[in-house]
Structure 1
Amino acid sequence: MDGPWEVKVGATAGAVWGRTEQQDFRSRVRGTLLGLAVGDALGAPVDGLGIDGIREAYGAEGLVDLAPAYGRRGAVTHLTQLTLFSVDGLIRAQVRRDTGAWHPPTDLHRAYLRWAATQRDWGPDLRRKDDGWLAREEWLYARRDPSKALLLGLADTTMGTPEAPKNPGELGPEAAARSAPFGLLVGWEPQLVAQLAVECAAQTHGHPTAYVAAGAYAVIVHALALGESLDAAVQRGFALLAARPGHQPVSDALQRALGAVRQGLPGPERVAELCGAGTAESLVGAAVYCALVAADVRHGLTLAVNHDGPSAATAALTGGLLGALHGETALPPAWLAELEGRPTILELADDFAMEMTQGPALHSPAGASPGWLARYPRA
């Protein structure tokens, strides 16, 4: 079960970060999390609608701006909620490592169980001191159409693994869509980023194609966060996938995405064709396509929502890629201004960037900042 987590990896504890590098990294972290959330929010009102229904509701061009969902403009779905808990789990893993315990999938599983509590409880339980600050954010206590696979996978405390996964037939995209934060572990080797994404995906989405798609997506984000082009990032994904059993459906989906770039102007039919049945590998491929052909972030995200496939997941995956590629300043300001939970997302993004670049100044086996431990308890 321990596998690569026996190896001393993780935070860039021994790296020296200059101010420029820290600023660039923080911009990409913010861009990834905000981009994913904005894409999610843009797609939420039309999730489940075909292109004809979207045009009937929003005009011939389809949906080109935020629209109401869940009672407000800019509302996010469970995809953003879970992504935030992925970030929380990664920070907690780094903090808990001071105790000598080092098994990141377990820390992520605990984070996902905290998310599951937000789907059951009316609000935060302030008596649970070990939950940390994110689980006390009241706006997260809202059901935003989580899939059955998520609720079943996290219905008890047993953690799924690739060897004994939860929901072994589940092919949905939710695990891939919460995997962008793993790609932001820029001090890790790509194969370990992929491994962590795979192990955490198997906690709810146990089909090999679903968890390998999560690993591929995380590796692509990882390369983008390191400053590589999207083409180069996808090629890195191919190289890593080749050595992993069960990779072929994911590799094929990415290859179809690259091929589609050369097939003329992008449009709803091409995106819908790439989305296929809405499985994880197909939506990762569609997101890569939308990001590759995007003239800018707005264009890429509107392309990702206006089609016959799952709009929220496709746009969330696309937004994560574009945000990692371009940083936060490339995102449409008017959309960010209305985004649900934006202060929380920014606070968490900045905490993650600070932990990954300056973690040793915040905590060590010898001592820690009380404020940091209050936010991210070791327990």
Structure 2
Amino acid sequence: MAATSGAVWGRTEQQDFRSRVRGTLLGAAVGDALGAPVDALTAEEIRAAYGAEGLTDLAGAYGRRGAVTHHTQLTLFTVDGLIRAQVRRDSGAWHPPTDLHRAYLRWAATQHDWGPDLRRKDDGWLAREEWLYARRDPTRALLTGFGDETMGTLDAPRNPGEAGPEPVARSAPFGLLVGWEPQLVGQLALECAAQSHGHPVACLAAAAYAVIVHALALGDSLDAAVQRSLALLVARPGHQPVSDALQHALGAVRQGMPTPARVEELTGAGTAAGLLSAAVYCALVGEDVRHGLCLAVNQGGPSGAAGALTGALLGALHGETALPPAWLAELEGRATILELADDFAMEMTQGPALHTPAGASPGWLARYPRG
């Protein structure tokens, strides 16, 4: 696969990349939707409600089957922000964290507005998708982190005590920047995590996760992707909790048959590092995508985040065709996710044909304004 932004993409490479992009975004969303109905339940409560095997199919949440949570909403706005960063680069302005922050502010508007404001021409098409205007239990850290125009940075992070998994769950798209060096992918995820969750564990877990997805998108095995992430983490101050969590996941693979109890042990207190560990484990030991996702959500930790993280890993690893078709058929927002995934793949592989400093396709600028 092409590994630099200036490389020429062959047809087969483009198709493989598009499948992995679709797989990553759809996988994250379907895992999120699977976990949503049991997000607040203990393992015992899940079994009491769904039987001895726990949840094995999509169930009702937010008034329908296949509903997604804030994890998927923010992941989609991450993709939107990345595309717009590429487009705005033509103007000489190149600071992706700022473009991502603007995208997250557009998400924040969906949490308090009744619907799209069509007068805001600079919002782009994603912010005009009415189904996104639904509050799906966003955490206080997200609402305060993106509650005003002030952008958190590594030097002045928002919510410095927050170590939850939310920034990790929106960071898979950073890994799809296959033309970037992995350390830059990790750095961008790190900086964007600090915009809502300033605890070093949350920021470093987001960086580690993005680097894993990046390696998968380039064709590495999951084990090799984790090793690559561990190698990059070593250079980061405060990396030990995240590195230990990844090593714990790798070690757990050799400890016998996978069980919800083992996943719950890895999840621990539900921090970003714990959810990263659980997701890597479930993706490694799952017999297929369905099994890996069910394993991820049938435990007493944050099931939506666990499903989203695991689903993105499996989708990036195997591509969209490995995802359960019946679940995709009921997935909320599936058409939007596919449209955005294909736009991202097109931007990454054919960006110079869509826009240059000298000019751009009017249709593309209407979808992804430079403002």
Fold agreement, TM-score > 0.5: yes
Could you tell me how far 1:60 is from its partner in structure 2? Answer: 0.8
Kept in 2, the 8 Å contact 1:12–1:356? The answer is no
Structure 2 residue identity aligned to 1:154? F
Counterpart for residue 109 of structure 1: 101
Secondary structure of the 1:157 match is coil
Q: Identify which of 62, 67, 72 aligns with 2:64.
A: 72
Structure 2 residue identity aligned to 1:267? T
Q: Identify which of 44, 67, 76 aligns with 1:84.
A: 76
Distance (Å, rounded) in 1 between the aligned partners of 2:40 and 2:267: 13
Q: Identify which of 298, 318, 321 aligns with 1:326.
A: 318
User: For residues 20-99 of structure 1, what are the structure 2 equivalents within 5 Å?
Assistant: 20-99=12-91
Kept in 1, the 8 Å contact 2:35–2:297? The answer is yes
Could you tell me how far 1:13 is from its partner in structure 2? Answer: 3.9
User: For residues 358-377 of structure 1, what are the structure 2 equivalents within 5 Å?
Assistant: 358-377=350-369
Structure-2-length-normalised TM-score: 0.99
Task: Confirm whether residue 241 of structure 1 aligns to residue 230 of structure 2.
Answer: no
Q: Identify which of 285, 288, 298 aligns with 2:290.
A: 298
Q: Identify which of 265, 276, 282 aligns with 1:284.
A: 276
1:240-292 deviation digits (Å, cap 9, x = unpaired): 00001110000000010001000000001100000000000110010000000
Counterpart for residue 8 of structure 1: none
Counterpart for residue 150 of structure 2: 158
Secondary structure of the 2:204 match is helix
Distance (Å, rounded) in 2 between the aligned partners of 1:100 and 1:176: 29
Counterpart for residue 267 of structure 2: 275
Distance (Å, rounded) in 2 between the aligned partners of 1:198 and 1:170: 14
User: For residues 162-201 of structure 1, what are the structure 2 equivalents within 5 Å?
Assistant: 162-201=154-193
Distance (Å, rounded) in 2 between the aligned partners of 1:212 and 1:268: 26
Structure 2 residue identity aligned to 1:297? V
Kept in 2, the 8 Å contact 1:12–1:357? The answer is no
Task: Confirm whether residue 144 of structure 1 aligns to residue 157 of structure 2.
Answer: no
Distance (Å, rounded) in 1 between the aligned partners of 2:5 and 2:161: 39
Gap regions ≥5 residues in structure 1: 1-10
Secondary structure of the 1:120 match is coil
Structure 1 residue identity aligned to 2:186? A
CA RMSD of aligned residues (A): 0.7
Kept in 2, the 8 Å contact 1:13–1:359? The answer is no
Could you tell me how far 1:85 is from its partner in structure 2? Answer: 0.1
Task: Confirm whether residue 208 of structure 1 aligns to residue 200 of structure 2.
Answer: yes
1:76-102 deviation digits (Å, cap 9, x = unpaired): 000000000000000000000000000
Counterpart for residue 250 of structure 1: 242
Structure 2 residue identity aligned to 1:46? V
Kept in 1, the 8 Å contact 2:46–2:55? The answer is yes
* Bigger mean CA offset, 177-186 vs 306-315: 306-315
Provide runs of 4+ in structure 1 moved above 2 Å.
none
Distance (Å, rounded) in 2 between the aligned partners of 1:164 and 1:46: 35
Counterpart for residue 315 of structure 1: 307
Aligned residue pair count: 369
Distance (Å, rounded) in 2 between the aligned partners of 1:225 and 1:185: 9
Structure 1 residue identity aligned to 2:121? K
Counterpart for residue 135 of structure 1: 127
Structure-1-length-normalised TM-score: 0.97
What is the aligned-residue identity percentage? 84
